[in-house]
Chain A
């Protein structure tokens, strides 16, 4: 599904990602963990070209992201993204947030888009909020709407960029529950997270990044109980 080969990313002279190669299979849930500044968010953002890689290749479903930017809109439509700070459209209602992109980018009819949007709102438990504006929602509700908005495009792959880091502690669970539900439904997911519990419970594989280098990867059970590298051991000692 995702095939990343020898990915480099530099901001000026600062090398943020260095020679990263990784693959993600269809239906797999991969967690990316690592200290802050390790490049994990940048790596995730490269996967839908919000950051343009300096070097290397990325293929999603056999289509190269790095070869030409011509069809970038089409490719991005197949990749859902959830941000740390939600980035809901504040001037649109919850329902309009969900229907906007399907109508504008995919050309789906309004009635059909609204029908699907209502089903998704039900799925994230926010049916009664469809006419509300984002500013009236709590953080957890905003993030659930943001997940539903991404799902409204019926993506084949979902990227999560620290989806619970900006939430009050009591709201983390409601978002993680939605993500677990999504993982169980067979969605391919790449999740940058500080939630070690989520990574351990839900992820099929863990990637550990430090200083822009993919230091270690493995099964969560293996990785958390018995990390192979010194750097991963250090990191886990600090966070667990």
Chain B
């Protein structure tokens, strides 16, 4: 077997920098996806019809087309259409954030609808305004139920982030390819970043468990 990990040693710092590059845009994409997803979920359960249509159409488009296509459209068509030279970093945040929000909105919608209707009625009977009720009463309870599904989505996003290598963003994946091309050996660098991805996902899983435990306080 022709395996020699010693050859990638000089490239390890270069590849490790990819962790930061990946985490940076994944972090912002998760934030964008969560905020937008929550808004879309509220549109979907709300009583304003145009907003409901918008949220449904949005979800159908972003779930119905490949993520890599969305990424390329944002990266390549923005300069063509507007003249603005969008960076790979910003394209990645937008594509992943917008795409993820479609999935997150469905998760949150299901979570909200699973909260006992009596909670809404109790808050209404106390004269609590809709906004406060959603923020303080309904969403915290929904969050507890959907946390595992939400963590799933964040893990998927972290792994699928490797797609940004196709627009030349120097993330973990792209760096493994660069090293592979330099060395004429692909297996070792790919295995190396594969291990890093696994570590990142394990980290996320652990954070999720801590949150879950904290939310279970009231049981």
Contacts and interface: CB of A to CB of B under 8 A. Distances in A.
Given A90-B218, A91-B144, A105 B118 contact: no
B55 to A, nearest CB: 24
B4 interface: no
Contact of A101 (B121, B126, B218, B219): B126
A76 B136 contact: no
The main secondary structure of chain B at its interface with chain A is: helix
Contacts of B116: 87
Interface string B118-148: 1101111111110010001100110010000
Contacts of A135: 218-219
B122 A76 contact: no
A75 B125 CA distance: 10
Contacts of B217: 133
A149 interface: yes
Contacts of B121: 50, 83, 87
A187 to B, nearest CB: 16
Interface string B195-219: 0000000000000000000010111
A85 interface: yes
Contacts of B124: 48, 50, 76
Contacts of A50: 121, 124-125
Interface residues of A, number: 30
A83 B118 contact: yes
Interface string A86-109: 011111100000001100111000
A146 to B, nearest CB: 8
Contacts of B123: 101
Contact of A105 (B129, B141, B144, B219): B129
Given A87-B116, A87-B119, A104 B125 contact: no
Which bracket fits the contact residues of B?
20 to 34
A4 interface: no
A48 B128 contact: no
Q: Which of B119, B128, B132, B140 has the most CB of A within 10 A?
A: B128
Contacts of A134: 218
B21 to A, nearest CB: 38
A71 B206 CA distance: 46
A100 to B, nearest CB: 7
Contacts of B219: 133, 135
A205 B17 CA distance: 78
Interface in A101-121: 101, 104-106
A153 interface: yes
A76 B125 contact: yes
Contact of B127 (A83, A88, A91, A105): A105
Contacts of B137: 89, 100
Nearest to A134: B218
Contacts of B125: 48, 50, 76, 79-81, 150
Given A81-B126, A83-B118, A100-B136, 17 more contacts: A48-B125, A76-B126, A83-B121, A87-B118, A87-B121, A87-B122, A88-B122, A89-B119, A89-B122, A89-B137, A92-B218, A104-B128, A105-B126, A105-B127, A133-B217, A133-B219, A135-B219
Instruction: Please name the 4 residue pairs, one residue from A and one from B, whose CB atoms are nearest each other, closest first.
Output: A77-B127, A87-B118, A87-B122, A81-B125
12 contacts: A76-B126, A77-B126, A77-B127, A83-B118, A83-B122, A85-B118, A87-B118, A87-B122, A89-B122, A91-B140, A105-B129, A133-B217
